[in-house]
Chains A and B, each alone.
Chain A
Amino acid sequence: MTRQCTVTILLSLTTLAWAAEPLPDKVDFNRDIKPILSDNCYACHGPDAGTVKAGLRLDSFEAATKELKSGATAIVPKDTDESELVYRVHTTDADELMPPAESNKSLTAREKALLKQWVAQGGEFAKHWAYVAPKKTAAPKAEQKGFTHNDIDRFILARLKSNGFVPAKEADRRTLIRRLSFDLTGLPPTWGQVEAFVNDKSPDAYAKLVDRLLASPQYGERMAVYWLDMVRYADTIGYHSDNHETKPLYRDYVIDAFNDNKPYDQFTREQLAGDLINDRTGTQLIASGYNRLNMNTREGGSQPKEYTAKYLADRVRNTSTVWMASTLGCSECHDHKFDPFTAKDFYSFGAFFADLEETPVGGQKFTKVPRMEDKAKVAVLEEELAELRKQIAEANLSPGQKTWEAGLQKTLTESSDWQAIKPTSAKSSGGATLKVQADHSVLSTGKNPAKDDYTITLATNLKNITGIRLEALTHESFPRKSLARGNGNFVLTHFSVAKGKSPVKIASATSDYSQANYPVANALKPDAKTGWAGNGHVEAANRTAVFVFEKPLAGGDDTALTITLKHQSQYPNHNIGHFRLSLTTAAEPTIRGGHNLPPVVAAALKQPAVQRDAAQQKAIADHYRTIAPELAEMRKAVAAKAAARDAAINAYPTTLVSTSMSKPRMVRVLPRGNWLDDSGDQVQPAVPGFLQFGQAPEGRASRMDLADWIVAKDNPLTARVFVNRLWAMFHGRGLATPLDDFGAQGTPPTHPALLDWLAIEFMENSWDVKHMVKLMVSSGTYRQSSVSPKAVTDKDPYNLWLARQGRWRLEAEMVRDNALAVSGLLVKTIGGASAKPYQPAGYWAHLNFPKRSWKADAGEGLYRRGLYTYWCRTFLHPSLAAFNAPSREECTVERVRSNTPQQALVLLNDPTYVEAARIFAERILKDGGKTPESRIAFAYQLALHRAPSAAEAKILVGLADKHLKHYQTDAGAADALLKNGAKMADEALDKSKLAAWTSIARVVLNLHENITRN
């Protein structure tokens, strides 16, 4: 897992930037004092009541000004001489100095002075900035021509001026379109788009560009990358065997939500509680899959209770980080050290999720969620089916029906009940003990082998035996009181009958029930991969199968029959546990015995034809249509159509969704997070005590109540947290840092009024995400050049005050997408199953249960955008991982941006990039003119959106010439180079030339500038 570490830098830098400042006239508690107290004092004198030393707490005015047992008082407002705190931080007596030496902490002179000044000014506390609702203030009256495009710039400009900066000039247009394209779509602009924008003289050229990019479907993909990191979306379960558990419907929901500009409050409600919405749509149900994105385990020997506790903690950490930038997760074992969260808050928050149905240890249950197009497909099939049925209903059948009726008269009166036969012996191949019961049934007892074959012998005096019946019977003693001793289900892989040594041929098999994909006909084939199954793990009910002999068996004189039941499926213990065998002499053996006719039809047929009323005639006619030989073809068509419909329903996409149980799991506070300790208090769902506002819901609070609370206008965190992250997306850092901790240990915003203004703007505009994006990228602040004089970068190396734009390396997925886009290989299909591009062989060798290997896709799957790459949590695709894509085991709000040799190896040697280079080279040769110079200019336009300098061109011209000579003398090498990747090289191009220009393309794709957003 990768995490951001700018936390520290920015924290320290903010402190540093202020350290350079003189002491303020009026100390601001949140800005000046809280960080000092939190960082240096709260470990022993903070909100965690369990670890308070000397009875002193410094997290409220009341506590800090109270006389202590020792007689001293930490803070006596406006009296620095009497205030123990001032003395203790200044003293030179090592025994009395605070913080003490063993804490490894010490205060700077300025921090000491600030504390003293604070006490002198009254020692007042203020509520932590992030827990006070944002206030909208008018933007400062600051204007600068060419810079101030909207109010954002006025807030920024005012601080720039007061800190002695001037904004950088606006970046040139080719930089702007490159920046905007990466920021809003994650893809580079085409050269045509660059030229169009550069030449667009209309006053709203920039606005039009922003609108075009926001409207492109790639916008949703780009935003999804950021969201999927936070919610830890992946294709595998994460723990131990890290099995496949893909949920692309959820991923595509996120893409669509951003593209459709779904309001953020709705987006929030749907994910946390989409399943609880009245008349919820399939989309909302898919969204509720958010609650199921946590890692889970299938490891044998894992204790369900332990993992239930882990999943609860995981959800608390995730939800509180994603929406609240709170480290509530730190309260799993104890009250929070720095923020007012208690351990009870942690478990009460977790209790919101206690209604979720899930499997603590084992595979999770997926839910079918048909999309519109899936439903439409089924509707069409239903319609066609109805039409076929209508044709059958309307067919004229009278001659055939008469013949049929005449032939039936004998059967109607004949008794043909099945006769249960007591086995003379019953043997198990697997070592079970088969006991014959009083009702002639057979019960499997004793050892319960994984696979078992039964050999049953019967002796009968019946003559002209036409069929044999197998009844799989439930039994009290079985799991679920069902049909077998494993999970209750059976799979009969083969059923056969023999008289002596000669097999009795079976013509057909029918059953009263078959599990989907396990029809009874399977039992006639010896294939162990198929069989007849009874769904006994879901439903406990008897299942009956009838096997009709090809021709009647003579029988008589104690004829001995040997019946073999084989259970050789891959599923262990799926052996029929209790069964009975019967024989019949009926002309047409049926499941229940007797004739096959529905009672109404039989009764009607027993009436002389002239006495039948209309209803009876209809009943007979209707029944005949189901068996009429002249309609056989039609019925086949109906069956095929029905099968097609069932297959379409079966193929509905599935995903993990939230399902609310009527009886939620009980949640206790776990002392020190220990899941074995049941001594903690039971808790009900509740939001953290200090953040409660408004009316608490009646009865047990639901996930919907949680969602409502999160997006309530009174919630001080949600809007701020989100706009701050959008800001970071467009400037490389948030106004407040880190992006995932707005608590006491985070750094207060550099521009608090702007952050509040943005938060309120967001809420007042109905949580309109595109509105906020447009506002931010339209600002002059955003449009500044990222290049600025050294004096400015020296003075503000971390760009806290925004006198320039940021420049940073593209994110992992964009690095890939960019190379594919520049070469022209990129496939822009949106959504669908995850893709598998090239991955080094054996990279998954250390996965087990089961062992598996990565099989790269063929065709388009090789060239999809990075966000669709199959996300294996324990072995993430190494190219993405090299560029800091997180494993998504935990929430990642800010990715690290490292700069490592592995990245160089990926860009140089990963077949994805070599192939992209060679296809890029084909473009260069075909469309880049005839001279080396024009070709290099063309390559620069495509990849870097600028012209090369003379010095740059010279280096590449030299290289092209050198490598052309090499590959002309080494045709084998050229050939080999052009075979990297699956796409065939263009035969029309000269191989040595193409190989040489592949080198040039590789150089360009490896340039720092090529993977930099500037």
Chain B
Amino acid sequence: MSQFDLFPSDVSRRAFLGKAGLGSLGLASLLNPSLLSADRPQIDKWPGILAKPHHKPRVKRVIHLCMAGGASHLETLDYKPKLREMDGKPMPKSITEGQPIAQLQGKRNNLTCLGPQHDFQKFGQSGQHICNLFPHIGSVADDIAVIRSLTTDAINHDPAHTLMNTGTTISGRPSMGSWMLYGLGAETENLPGYCVLISRGGGQDQPVAARQWHAGFLPSRFQGVQLRGKGDPVLYVKRPDGVDADRQRDVVDAVQQLNQLQNAAVQDPEITTRISQYEMAFRMQMSVPELVDISKEPKGVLDLYGAQPGDGSFASNCLLARRLAERGVRFIQLYHRGWDHHGNIKGAMQNTAKIVDQGVAALIKDLKGSGLWEDTLILWGAEFGRTPMAQGSGRDHHIKGFSCWFAGGGIKGGMSYGNTDDFGYNAVENVVHVNDLHATILHLMGVDHEKLTYRFQGRDFRLTDVHGKVLKPILA
């Protein structure tokens, strides 16, 4: 990779490479409204820093379904019959001694086991063990590769999300979606290449900070854009009151023409970029409302997801994820915030699972039906798991062993990888770190995680920092 391609804006890149910006569309056409309406200024598309992928990509896009708050692995994917036998008995000290503990800090000497609060059953041909709160996900069990030996470094929500997104707990590093846009660009000119949707319900809603989709030290054009369930779907995408689309077009056209005249006078490539960005903005004002309006989806599709147009639910967000995928968005992230079950995990899991289960499975089925399956990667998981020890009627945060799953292009479905001990405490077999997830995702996108770097403060940074290994056994 050449350092010389790393510029904060198109200006510097063009200035350096001597590329023409809006060259193909001359001043004359800009000043001629009839030409303008027929032939809009072109968007200056970012092609990605990698001229070509490091190897043949298996997928083009990623959908990350983040079960924020820390979904319990013991009531989702990690079946622990022994833990049930131990229910109410003391947790062996040999396992917990010297380990970081969050809210159970004061109870260190009195830790008791909490058995799985719901039953598991075998699903699909593969017979994957999945908690029976998730019958829909169970119905696609043969499509998913479960990892049961995931570990992370941070025991509180905020740093743990930061690690899950940026590969480190230190604030200020780019999130994985930003890395992907930086490396590969996006396939859309009308929408941001990295979109985030958030829903909630079913338990205590943990905050999710905007830094989780931030570009960090990468140019901010690679930042994730939140699509909101209520209000303007994208901030400031709505025209001011009293300004209809034609009036807005007039204003934007005048801005474009005047900027072009100014550019002719001072030859500032930054102006060319500005013109391109106004065009993109104008297109977003048309494409975003169309995107988020799911009311025209066939009833069968809405029913498949269990989505009601405009309800801002996780199910609707899953449907939007498919719509984003088909429009060429590179990285799609869905947060569902209701998983922080410190108390009443039995009832709360039931509630949250019900909110999430159908939409996830529907997304997989829908992607398959719409031909997007083979080049889409799905990651389902939380920022950490939950303790096998009881915290009253709930479970505390847990980082030494939890679960997630991958599905989609390049993934071997119907398998599982790694294991925790009998308590579901420590990952003991094929231990996986968050950095390994990142290495694997990049690998499937055709990127060698050690080679996608960005120089900041004199150091070449990577999404995987100095770690990360590709999880080859789960690849098809």
Chain B binds chain A: yes
Residues on A lying within 8 angstroms of B by beta carbon are 1-9, 11-13, 16, 38, 104, 239-242, 295, 297, 299-303, 306, 327, 330, 337-338, 676, 738, 740-741, 743-746, 786-787, 790, 793-794, 797-798, 807-809, 840-843, 845-849, 874-876, 878-879, 881-882, 884, 887, 889-890, 896-906, 908-911, 914, 949, 951-952, 955-956, 959, 962-963, 966, 973-980, 995, 999, 1002-1003, 1006-1009, 1012, 1014
A980 to B258, CA, bound (A): 25
Name 5 interchain pairs, CB-CB below 8 A, sorted by A: A5-B218, A787-B267, A840-B231, A840-B236, A904-B282
Please determine whether A898 and B103 come into contact, CB atoms closer than 8 angstroms. no
Please determine whether B251 and A999 come into contact, CB atoms closer than 8 angstroms. yes
What is the distance, in angstroms, from A150's C-beta to the closest C-beta of chain B?
28
Chain B interface bracket (under 10, 10 to 19, 20 to 34, 35 or more): 35 or more
Please determine whether A790 and B267 come into contact, CB atoms closer than 8 angstroms. yes
Taking the complex as formed, is B428 at the interface, i.e. its CB lies under 8 A from any CB of chain A?
A: no
A676 to B98, CA, bound (A): 8
Option from B214, B234, B254, B266 in Cβ contact (under 8 Å) with A1: B214
A2 to B198, CA, bound (A): 23
Task: For B1, give the chain A residue with the smallest CB separation.
Answer: A104
Please determine whether A949 and B261 come into contact, CB atoms closer than 8 angstroms. yes
Please determine whether A846 and B10 come into contact, CB atoms closer than 8 angstroms. no
Please determine whether B216 and A240 come into contact, CB atoms closer than 8 angstroms. no
A6 to B6, CA, bound (A): 9
Please determine whether B240 and A899 come into contact, CB atoms closer than 8 angstroms. no
A19 to B121, CA, bound (A): 66
Please determine whether B277 and A962 come into contact, CB atoms closer than 8 angstroms. no
Option from B157, B255, B397 in Cβ contact (under 8 Å) with A240: B157
Please determine whether B250 and A959 come into contact, CB atoms closer than 8 angstroms. yes
Residues of chain A within 8 A of B221, CB atoms compared: 898, 900
Taking the complex as formed, is B125 at the interface, i.e. its CB lies under 8 A from any CB of chain A?
A: no
Residues of chain B within 8 A of A962, CB atoms compared: 250
Please determine whether A239 and B172 come into contact, CB atoms closer than 8 angstroms. no
Please determine whether A905 and B156 come into contact, CB atoms closer than 8 angstroms. no
Which stretch (B139-147, B205-213, B318-326, B419-427) binds chain A? B205-213
Task: For A904, give the chain B residue with the smallest CB separation.
Answer: B281
Please determine whether B242 and A974 come into contact, CB atoms closer than 8 angstroms. yes
Taking the complex as formed, is B293 at the interface, i.e. its CB lies under 8 A from any CB of chain A?
A: no
Taking the complex as formed, is B471 at the interface, i.e. its CB lies under 8 A from any CB of chain A?
A: no
Residues of chain A within 8 A of B211, CB atoms compared: 1, 874, 887, 889
Known: A3-B172, A787-B266, A840-B236. A745 touches B156 (CB 8 A): no
What is the distance, in angstroms, from B189's C-beta to the closest C-beta of chain A?
10
Task: For B216, give the chain A residue with the smallest CB separation.
Answer: A1
Taking the complex as formed, is B11 at the interface, i.e. its CB lies under 8 A from any CB of chain A?
A: yes
Residues of chain A within 8 A of B451, CB atoms compared: 104
What is the distance, in angstroms, from B152's C-beta to the closest C-beta of chain A?
14
Residues of chain B within 8 A of A841, CB atoms compared: 230-231
Option from A876, A959, A1008 in Cβ contact (under 8 Å) with B254: A959
A786 to B267, CA, bound (A): 11
Please determine whether B237 and A909 come into contact, CB atoms closer than 8 angstroms. yes
What is the distance, in angstroms, from B142's C-beta to the closest C-beta of chain A?
35
Known: A7-B455, A889-B171. A901 touches B277 (CB 8 A): yes
Taking the complex as formed, is B239 at the interface, i.e. its CB lies under 8 A from any CB of chain A?
A: yes
Option from A7, A809, A847, A995 in Cβ contact (under 8 Å) with B242: A995
Please determine whether A899 and B242 come into contact, CB atoms closer than 8 angstroms. no
Please determine whether B240 and A909 come into contact, CB atoms closer than 8 angstroms. yes
A899 to B271, CA, bound (A): 9
Known: A3-B216, A999-B250. A8 touches B6 (CB 8 A): yes
Please determine whether B247 and A966 come into contact, CB atoms closer than 8 angstroms. yes
Known: A240-B158, A909-B236. A793 touches B457 (CB 8 A): no
Known: A301-B105, A327-B457. A1006 touches B251 (CB 8 A): yes
Residues on B lying within 8 angstroms of A by beta carbon are 3-4, 6-12, 15-16, 18, 98, 100, 102-103, 105, 155-158, 171-172, 198, 205-211, 214-221, 225, 228, 230-232, 234-244, 247-248, 250-252, 254-255, 257-259, 261-262, 266-268, 270-271, 273-274, 277-278, 280-282, 284-285, 337, 396-397, 450-451, 453-459
Option from B217, B232, B252 in Cβ contact (under 8 Å) with A908: B252
Option from B172, B232, B257 in Cβ contact (under 8 Å) with A889: B172
A301 to B159, CA, bound (A): 13
Please determine whether B228 and A7 come into contact, CB atoms closer than 8 angstroms. no
Residues of chain A within 8 A of B261, CB atoms compared: 949, 951-952
Option from B6, B103, B220, B456 in Cβ contact (under 8 Å) with A301: B103
What is the distance, in angstroms, from B104's C-beta to the closest C-beta of chain A?
8
Option from A1, A845, A899 in Cβ contact (under 8 Å) with B273: A899
Please determine whether A899 and B251 come into contact, CB atoms closer than 8 angstroms. no
Option from A787, A793, A848, A903 in Cβ contact (under 8 Å) with B15: A793
What is the distance, in angstroms, from B382's C-beta to the closest C-beta of chain A?
16
Please determine whether B8 and A896 come into contact, CB atoms closer than 8 angstroms. yes
Option from B207, B242, B244, B280 in Cβ contact (under 8 Å) with A848: B207
What is the distance, in angstroms, from B370's C-beta to the closest C-beta of chain A?
27
A808 to B11, CA, bound (A): 11
A137 to B395, CA, bound (A): 68
What is the distance, in angstroms, from A321's C-beta to the closest C-beta of chain B?
9
Option from B3, B12, B220 in Cβ contact (under 8 Å) with A797: B12
Task: For B460, give the chain A residue with the smallest CB separation.
Answer: A104
Residues of chain A within 8 A of B243, CB atoms compared: 973, 977
Considering the complex of A and B, which 6 residue pairs feature the smallest CB-CB distances, nearest first?
Answer: A745-B458, A977-B242, A301-B102, A976-B242, A904-B281, A3-B217
Residues of chain A within 8 A of B251, CB atoms compared: 908, 959, 999, 1002-1003, 1006
What is the distance, in angstroms, from A901's C-beta to the closest C-beta of chain B?
4
Residues of chain B within 8 A of A239, CB atoms compared: 158
Please determine whether A908 and B281 come into contact, CB atoms closer than 8 angstroms. yes
Please determine whether B7 and A9 come into contact, CB atoms closer than 8 angstroms. yes
Task: For A674, give the chain B residue with the smallest CB separation.
Answer: B153
Task: For A995, give the chain B residue with the smallest CB separation.
Answer: B242
Residues of chain B within 8 A of A949, CB atoms compared: 261
A40 to B7, CA, bound (A): 21
A847 to B396, CA, bound (A): 21
A963 to B208, CA, bound (A): 44
Task: For B226, give the chain A residue with the smallest CB separation.
Answer: A846
Other A-B contacts than A2-B214, A952-B258, A1007-B259, 12 sampled, CB-CB below 8 A, are A1-B217, A4-B217, A5-B219, A8-B3, A743-B458, A843-B235, A899-B273, A904-B277, A904-B282, A905-B285, A955-B254, A977-B242
Please determine whether A1007 and B267 come into contact, CB atoms closer than 8 angstroms. no
Please determine whether B270 and A1008 come into contact, CB atoms closer than 8 angstroms. yes
Task: For B267, give the chain A residue with the smallest CB separation.
Answer: A790
What is the distance, in angstroms, from B384's C-beta to the closest C-beta of chain A?
12
What is the distance, in angstroms, from A629's C-beta to the closest C-beta of chain B?
57
Known: A896-B220, A1008-B270. A3 touches B9 (CB 8 A): no
Please determine whether A1 and B172 come into contact, CB atoms closer than 8 angstroms. yes
Residues of chain B within 8 A of A303, CB atoms compared: 100, 102, 105, 155
Please determine whether B458 and A897 come into contact, CB atoms closer than 8 angstroms. no
A846 to B80, CA, bound (A): 34
A292 to B425, CA, bound (A): 38
Please determine whether B274 and A104 come into contact, CB atoms closer than 8 angstroms. no
Please determine whether B198 and A899 come into contact, CB atoms closer than 8 angstroms. no
Residues of chain A within 8 A of B105, CB atoms compared: 301, 303
Please determine whether B268 and A5 come into contact, CB atoms closer than 8 angstroms. no
A327 to B459, CA, bound (A): 10
A338 to B214, CA, bound (A): 28
What is the distance, in angstroms, from A791's C-beta to the closest C-beta of chain B?
12
A876 to B207, CA, bound (A): 15
Option from A3, A676, A744, A889 in Cβ contact (under 8 Å) with B456: A3
Task: For B44, give the chain A residue with the smallest CB separation.
Answer: A899
Please determine whether B236 and A906 come into contact, CB atoms closer than 8 angstroms. yes
Known: A905-B281, A999-B247, A999-B250. A896 touches B207 (CB 8 A): no
Task: For A305, give the chain B residue with the smallest CB separation.
Answer: B100
A660 to B441, CA, bound (A): 48
Task: For B458, give the chain A residue with the smallest CB separation.
Answer: A745
Please determine whether A1007 and B231 come into contact, CB atoms closer than 8 angstroms. no
Please determine whether A900 and B220 come into contact, CB atoms closer than 8 angstroms. yes
Residues of chain B within 8 A of A963, CB atoms compared: 247, 250
Of residues B7, B172, B396, which shows the largest number of chain A Cβ atoms within 10 Å of its Cβ? Answer: B172
